[in-house]
Amino acid sequence: MPPAARSRVALGLTAAAALGRFELQQCRACGMVQYPPREACQSCLSIKLTWKAQTGEGELLASTVLHHSNDLFFRERLPWRLGLIRLASGPAVVAHLHGDVPAAPAMVRVAARLDRAGQAVLVALPDKETPHMADDRQLREFTCDPKFRKILVTDGKTATGQALVKALAAAGADLIWVGHAEPWKKFSGFDELEKIPQVTLVPLDVTDSKNVRELAAEIGGKVDILVNNAEYHRAFGISNRQGVETARAEMDVNYFGLLRLAQEFGPALRSRGADGLASAVAWVNLLSVYALANFPPHGTFSASKAAAHSLAQCLRAEMRPAGVRVVNLFPGPIDDEWNQLLPPPKIAPQALANALVKALRDGIEDVYPGDVAQEWLERWRDNPKALERELSA
Ligand SMILES: [Zn+2]
């Protein structure tokens, strides 16, 4: 693990980086932007500090290459490039340096990324896109780029599952196992999936503990990224349905399915988190923005996603020491058969899949794809109680 001890105030940088944002503290009294994060403004000592989004534009003043490190993580990855950058917004920062950044002086774009310990670090990228920029050896330590990696997508039957498989194949995945709960049955889109050269269909029913265990024994030691998109979704609240069968089926897939997968695939992934170039890097959960606040017309589904969200936080805590990132997807309503009755806007499965690929490339931990999810996130951050009331209206 890279060194991870940080103060609580420094976690503000990490909280933003988890969403793919680069934010620094700005003083509301004198306007100063500061780095590293502190309890008070370094210029006027005011404690009125606000986290503000940064463009990251800056100039590389000097660079160096480390050939020695006392830290085991970096010692195994030498040589390592570092640079001193003057940000356009004021502060000077030390950052990891992408291999395509030329010698100083040069214009760069600084971004905040999560390292393998799940802490924010600053990375200076070339000012403009360069060919194969994502393949940089140092940058890949901070991302979960699907290129060259072996991936399990747990459900290939749904429109979302098929869009995920296609997007991951297009992003250069080495191999994609695609789960198939009823292997004796063809589903719509089956032939198209089978034609993708990287794809292997495997029997996987996340409600069947024995089946999950058998598949983990077979391929668990090879999976670099696990994408759990299996979900059960019916549109009901409490009063418009008798009994608990539908709610139980939702929990069995959305919550217990995740638990079964985590118990069987988790240990192998954790043990491979530091296997150099062939390491396991990510676990992806398809949650829902309804996990943050209940959407009563889909009330029991929302509850199952809230349970899955809580379990995913536990999984994240257990995966972090191994350097395996848990990525949670919080889409708004997906344009699929279970949301037919909902008016637009809805997110297309393709857009959701592209958002996941981008998040893996950028090393983002919490992904809110599409306008609806973004708006809900902002409202939830602003006032969770107000959102609860708005959703029940
Ligand atoms: Zn100040």
In the reported structure, the alpha carbon of residue 24 is separated from the centroid of ligand 1 by a whole-number distance in angstroms of: 13
In this prediction, residue 68 carries a pLDDT of: 95
User: pLDDT under 50 in the chain at which residues?
Assistant: none
In the reported structure, the alpha carbon of residue 40 is separated from the centroid of ligand 1 by a whole-number distance in angstroms of: 8
Instruction: Report the SS3 class of residue 338.
Output: helix
In this prediction, residue 5 carries a pLDDT of: 81
With 0-12 CB in 10 A as exposed, 13-18 as middle and 19+ as buried, what is 148? middle
In the reported structure, the alpha carbon of residue 49 is separated from the centroid of ligand 1 by a whole-number distance in angstroms of: 8
In the reported structure, the alpha carbon of residue 74 is separated from the centroid of ligand 1 by a whole-number distance in angstroms of: 36
In this prediction, residue 115 carries a pLDDT of: 92
Q: Contacts by 215-223 with C-beta closer than 8 Å and gap 24+?
A: 215/179, 215/264, 216/264, 216/265, 216/268, 219/152, 219/177, 220/264, 220/265, 220/267, 220/268, 220/269, 221/268, 221/272, 222/150, 223/150, 223/151, 223/152, 223/177, 223/265, 223/268, 223/269, 223/280
pLDDT digits (tens, 9 = 90+) for 248-264: 999 999 999 999 999 99
In the reported structure, the alpha carbon of residue 42 is separated from the centroid of ligand 1 by a whole-number distance in angstroms of: 7
In the reported structure, the alpha carbon of residue 383 is separated from the centroid of ligand 1 by a whole-number distance in angstroms of: 27
In the reported structure, the alpha carbon of residue 41 is separated from the centroid of ligand 1 by a whole-number distance in angstroms of: 5
In this prediction, residue 273 carries a pLDDT of: 87
In the reported structure, the alpha carbon of residue 97 is separated from the centroid of ligand 1 by a whole-number distance in angstroms of: 30
In this prediction, residue 299 carries a pLDDT of: 95
In the reported structure, the alpha carbon of residue 93 is separated from the centroid of ligand 1 by a whole-number distance in angstroms of: 18
In the reported structure, the alpha carbon of residue 251 is separated from the centroid of ligand 1 by a whole-number distance in angstroms of: 50
In the reported structure, the alpha carbon of residue 4 is separated from the centroid of ligand 1 by a whole-number distance in angstroms of: 28
In the reported structure, the alpha carbon of residue 366 is separated from the centroid of ligand 1 by a whole-number distance in angstroms of: 31
pLDDT digits (tens, 9 = 90+) for 69-88: 999 889 989 999 999 999 99
- Whether the pTM exceeds 0.85: the reply is yes
pLDDT digits (tens, 9 = 90+) for 325-379: 999 999 999 998 878 888 888 999 999 999 999 999 999 999 999 999 999 999 9
In this prediction, residue 278 carries a pLDDT of: 75
In this prediction, residue 340 carries a pLDDT of: 83
In the reported structure, the alpha carbon of residue 146 is separated from the centroid of ligand 1 by a whole-number distance in angstroms of: 42
In this prediction, residue 183 carries a pLDDT of: 86
Rounded Cα distance between 156 and 372, Å, is: 25
In the reported structure, the alpha carbon of residue 32 is separated from the centroid of ligand 1 by a whole-number distance in angstroms of: 5
For 125, residues 6+ apart whose C-beta sits below 8 A from its C-beta are 98, 101, 108, 109, 110, 111, 133, 139
Burial letters for 75-102: b for 16+ Cβ neighbours within 10 Å, e otherwise? eebeebbebbbebebebebbbbbbebbe
